[in-house]
Amino acid sequence: MTRAMLALLRRDLRLAVRHGGESLMPLVFLFAVLILVPLGVGPGPNLLSAIAPGMVWVAALLASLLALEHLFRPDLDDGTLEQWWTGETPVGLLVATRLFSHWLITGLPVILFAPVAAQMLYLPDRALGTLMLTLLIGTPLLSLIGGLASALTLGTNRGSVLLSILIFPLVVPVLIFATGAVSAAADGLSARAHLGLLSALLILAVTLIPLATTAALRLNIE
Amino acid sequence: MNALLQADQVGFTRSGELVFEPTDVCLNAGQALVISGPNGSGKTTLLRVLAGILEPATGSLSRTASLAFLGHLAAVKGDLSCRENLEFSTRFSGQPGTEVNRAMARVGLAGLGLRPARALSAGQKRRLGLAGLLVARRDIWLLDEPYASLDDAGGELVDQLLDEHLAAGGTAALSTHQRQPRLQIDPDRLVIRAALRESVR
């Protein structure tokens, strides 16, 4: 069972390395936002430090969204997806594995480069820890929500428009609590309430979304 | 009788309409089942129901052994080499020790291990799928049109592999509409019919 999950993870990562350009897109996006927005709104430290949490988070969100089109569709097209139901491993675990690899490819790079981003945007040092923490809790949430939406839209031809419409309302709470936490920390206030709510969302998503995604995939595989 | 896979009156509905008439299937060790029927009669759907990919709308399904399904799609990743695809199959099915090279030689793909799977011809992809069956070492083989896009030698290869698999105590169900399998043991036959297709139209 774990062996099948590890095999799937290994193949996903190997394919990601092979599509090197695509896999670098999250980072390209992050830095595009970080470099272009100051050019547009002006490089003043006061303004930038105020909008820094939102910018990092929007970049993380877009990075996650970009890769969603390729989360299940290639597997549906080449027939590897239907094989998930023929083995002994519960499909929910394979779905969780796939979502984890999506997070490794889109979420983790953003987390790793968040300190650089924070420096570039004059985020107060005392808020950096909170920013990292919100990303650590929040980016898996983005992968989970995106996974469900991508499974639901798998059967439609022009899935990407529908996909975005499905995702945006669901990620609004994540965005609000995450940026709220970072702003609070930047102002020297406690971010605990925001982080607590964000964690609650993550726990809810981790328990329910793999099951829901499995059911959605099964509907679309017919 | 200890059936490896048994289905009682399974049927499958698409938009509330039965695709094929409810069917009994029983696969015992050492036996093969050939499913035939005209285009659109639900051969593929039946195999996918038996494989567990589709949920049967009626009837019940019980399985006591491991299963492999080889469908229209070869289930290989084009960006990985043949070897990497087979290595994935061995790990995914929990048979990490299996000899990949031998399986490739057996299906006539010796020396193509490093070639990306997308560079294979349709027939070679089928052969890679067969190699995947060999390395996964499953008891029940469900093969959807296994002879499609294979040359004569490839067809014979499928027959040989089936014979060996049955002799080793495995079982198989295959759908076919062109070439009939020539096996050492006489396979059971099942003709399925589309349900209500004429009257609905």
Residues on chain A bordering chain B, Cβ-to-Cβ distance under 8 angstroms = 3-4, 6-8, 10-11, 14-15, 18-19, 74, 77-80, 82-83, 85-88, 218, 221-222
Nearest CA in chain B to A217: B53
Q: Is the dihedral of CA B56, B61, B66, B70 positive or negative?
A: negative
Query: pLDDT value at position B200?
Result: 42
Distance from CA of A201 to the nearest CA of B (A): 31
Taking residues A141-148, report their average pLDDT: 95
Query: pLDDT value at position A199?
Result: 96
Judging contacts by C-beta atoms under 8 Å, the chain A residues touching residue B72 are: 79
Whether residues B69 and A10 touch (CB distance < 8 A) is answered with no
Q: Cβ contacts of residue A176 below 8 Å, gap of 6+?
A: none
Burial of residue A107, with CB atoms counted within 10 A of its CB: 0-12 exposed, 13-18 middle, 19 or more buried: buried
In this prediction the pTM is 0.90
Distance from CA of A75 to the nearest CA of B (A): 8
Could you count the other beta carbons within 10 Å of the beta carbon of residue A139? 28
If you average pLDDT over every residue of chain A, what do you get?
A: 90
Query: Which residue stretches of B1-121 are H helix?
Result: 43-51, 82-92, 100-106
Taking residues A121-128, report their average pLDDT: 90
Whether residues A221 and B53 touch (CB distance < 8 A) is answered with yes
Whether residues A79 and B74 touch (CB distance < 8 A) is answered with yes
Whether residues B74 and A78 touch (CB distance < 8 A) is answered with yes
Percentage of chain A surpassing pLDDT 70? 100
Write down the ipTM of this complex. 0.87
Checking if the pLDDT of A137 tops 80, the result is yes
Distance from CA of B18 to the nearest CA of A (A): 14
Cα separation of A149 and A23, whole Å?
A: 20
Judging contacts by C-beta atoms under 8 Å, the chain B residues touching residue A3 are: 91-92, 94, 96
Distance from CA of A94 to the nearest CA of B (A): 11
Query: pLDDT value at position B196?
Result: 59
Whether residues A7 and B91 touch (CB distance < 8 A) is answered with yes
Tens digit of pLDDT at every position of chain B (201 positions): 578 898 888 888 888 888 888 888 899 898 899 998 888 888 889 999 999 999 888 888 888 889 999 988 888 898 999 999 999 999 998 887 778 888 999 999 888 888 999 899 989 999 999 999 999 889 999 999 988 888 889 989 999 999 999 999 899 999 987 777 787 777 777 777 776 554 443
In a 3-state reduction of DSSP, which class is residue B64? Answer: coil
